[in-house]
Amino acid sequence: MPPPERRSRGDVAAAALIAAALLLLGSGLWWVSDARGTTVRTDDTPTAGTPLPGPRTLPSSLTQLWRAPSGATPEPVVTGGTVITGHAGEVTGRDPVTGQARWSYRRELPLCTVGAAFGQALAVHREGEFCSEVTALAPADGSRGAQRTGPLRPPTRLLPEGNLVTATGQRYLEVWRSDLVRTLEYGALPTPVKPGAQPRTRCSYGSIAVAAGLLGVIERCPGERADRITVQQADPEEPDRPEIELSTLLRGRGASLVALTPDRSAVALPDPPRLVVLDNTGQRIVERGLDIPAADLRGDPPAGAVPTTVTAGATYWFTGSATVALGSPDLLPMWSIPDTLGPGTLLAGRLLVPVPGGLAVVDVTTGEQVGTLPVDRGGYTGPVEVGSAGDVVLEQRGDTLVALR
């Protein structure tokens, strides 16, 4: 029988060296991993995230409830009864009435944008030159859901529609479904695997709009005499092979895609200011002059999305100095209000439109201003995006979100 094996000092030293190496490797991997730079604080309150009921009547006045820094939200973000703010690298789910943080998700990376789609909050963090780190967060408790990475460049914002959401870009854009699987990539792909699949890879994008299953984009392409509008399927059979519904040159440059439906698109053009409505073949249906300053329509909207509020009955469009109502589904102008600060939001059957010194109460059918709710904005005079959570009115004033009731 062979003698039993005995461990020598060399064996023990070798084992200790291997263990130390593994510990060092594990520490190194943790040091460079996403986990090291991520802090998650979830909420275990069972009732958190219950949506507040909307008011039946408007209040006679509004006072400030709370405010919070939120430079990553282009407009008030509300989902599942929770108000979402984004500042620096942190996304926070807040109680609409108190502003108290219910949960938070923080990464040691700056935020590109924060939005909401398919009942979840979506955080897009920037790593290096790309807005690549996307995370879905449950609005009730902040728990993490699906995650993805992608080659989006800033500036970008999220445009939800049904179970899809579009991430905008100036040369490249993506569409994701509710599990954050990509359904469409369009434009200058960083690493194309199917040469020739993309129709125009040298174009830049001025503005983008979404409708049920569709994505529209204003393209500016080298060698073309005018801007181009392209409408395509948001969920084609192959994500990297676009299915184009229409693509046609417009009669001018500096176009902005204001609104999109399955049958029509509304495009604003400057010099002179006018709105052109096209059918789903690209044929012009109507062209209407707009009584707004020409400067309103010069330049592209921030992150490629025209400021609008879309409802079942109309699209309310902020031109830069006025709010214009476009009927649904024909997208024809119904009325306009001059000297406004944003598109407004529906509350208790009325449209609340931000104006200097308050919120104008507007009849949605006629555009008549039937009242005003005074709001003290403390000297802030820039654009205002308005939303609501139950009977709490929310104003996005630049990098700050303010709650009123």
Q: Is residue 110 part of a domain?
A: yes
Contact status, residue 290 vs residue 317, Cβ threshold 8 Å: no
Domain range for 146 is: 37-156
Arithmetic mean of pLDDT, 312-336: 96
User: What CATH number corresponds to the domain at position 67?
Assistant: 2.40.10.480
Tell if the pTM clears 0.85, that is, is over it.
yes
Contact status, residue 120 vs residue 138, Cβ threshold 8 Å: yes
Q: Is residue 277 part of a domain?
A: no
Of 391, 390, 387, 405, the closest CA to residue 85 belongs to: 387
Report the 10 Å Cβ neighbour count for 331: 24
pLDDT at 24: 54
d(CA 171, CA 148): 20
Q: Is residue 2 part of a domain?
A: no
Q: Is residue 150 part of a domain?
A: yes
d(CA 245, CA 81): 37
Confidence of residue 47 (pLDDT cuts 50, 70, 90): low
d(CA 38, CA 81): 25
The DSSP output letter for 155 is S
Question: In the structure encoding, which two tokens stand for residue 144, read together?
Answer: 């993490």
d(CA 330, CA 308): 16
Place of tokens 């979404």: 210
Residue 160, burial from CB neighbour count under 10 angstroms (0-12, 13-18, 19+): middle
Q: Using alpha carbons, list the distances in angstroms from residue 313 to 115, 347, 352.
A: 23, 14, 15
Across all residues in the chain, what is the average pLDDT? 92
d(CA 339, CA 347): 21
Q: Is residue 226 part of a domain?
A: no
d(CA 405, CA 403): 7
Which residues, 6 or more positions from 108, have their beta carbon under 8 angstroms from its beta carbon? 36, 37, 38, 89
Confidence of residue 19 (pLDDT cuts 50, 70, 90): low
Residue 275, burial from CB neighbour count under 10 angstroms (0-12, 13-18, 19+): buried
Amino acid type, 300: D
pLDDT at 27: 44
**β-pair type (204-211, 214-220):** antiparallel
Beta strands in 168-243 (DSSP E): 172-177, 182-187, 204-211, 214-220, 228-233
Of 85, 128, 105, the closest CA to residue 37 belongs to: 105
Percent of the chain whose predicted confidence (pLDDT) is above 90? 84
pLDDT at 114: 98
User: Is the predicted pLDDT of residue 14 greater than 90, yes or no?
Assistant: no
Question: For the segment 252-307, what is each residue's pLDDT rounded down to a tens digit?
Answer: 999 999 999 999 999 999 999 999 999 999 999 999 999 999 999 999 999 999 99
Of 321, 275, 302, 271, the closest CA to residue 208 belongs to: 302
pLDDT at 44: 73
Q: Is residue 18 part of a domain?
A: no
Angle at 338 (CA atoms; ends 361, 113), nearest 5 degrees: 80
The number of folded domains in the chain is 1
d(CA 314, CA 269): 20
Contact status, residue 109 vs residue 125, Cβ threshold 8 Å: yes
- Give the DSSP letter string of 238-271: STTS--EEEEEE-SSSS-EEEEE-SSEEEEEETT
Q: Which of 40-54, 186-200, 315-329, 357-371 has the lowest mean pLDDT?
A: 40-54
Higher pLDDT, 17 or 89: 89
Q: Is residue 106 part of a domain?
A: yes
The helix or strand, by DSSP H or E, that contains position 402, with its residue range, turns out to be strand 400-404
Tell me the backbone φ, ψ of residue 338, rounded to 5 degrees.
-80, 165
Question: For the segment 217-260, what is each residue's pLDDT rounded down to a tens digit?
Answer: 999 999 999 999 999 999 999 999 999 999 999 999 999 999 99
Report the 10 Å Cβ neighbour count for 309: 22
d(CA 109, CA 95): 25
Q: Is residue 392 part of a domain?
A: no
Exposure string of 198-217, with b = 16+ CB inside 10 Å and e = fewer, is bbbbebbbbbbbbbeebbbb
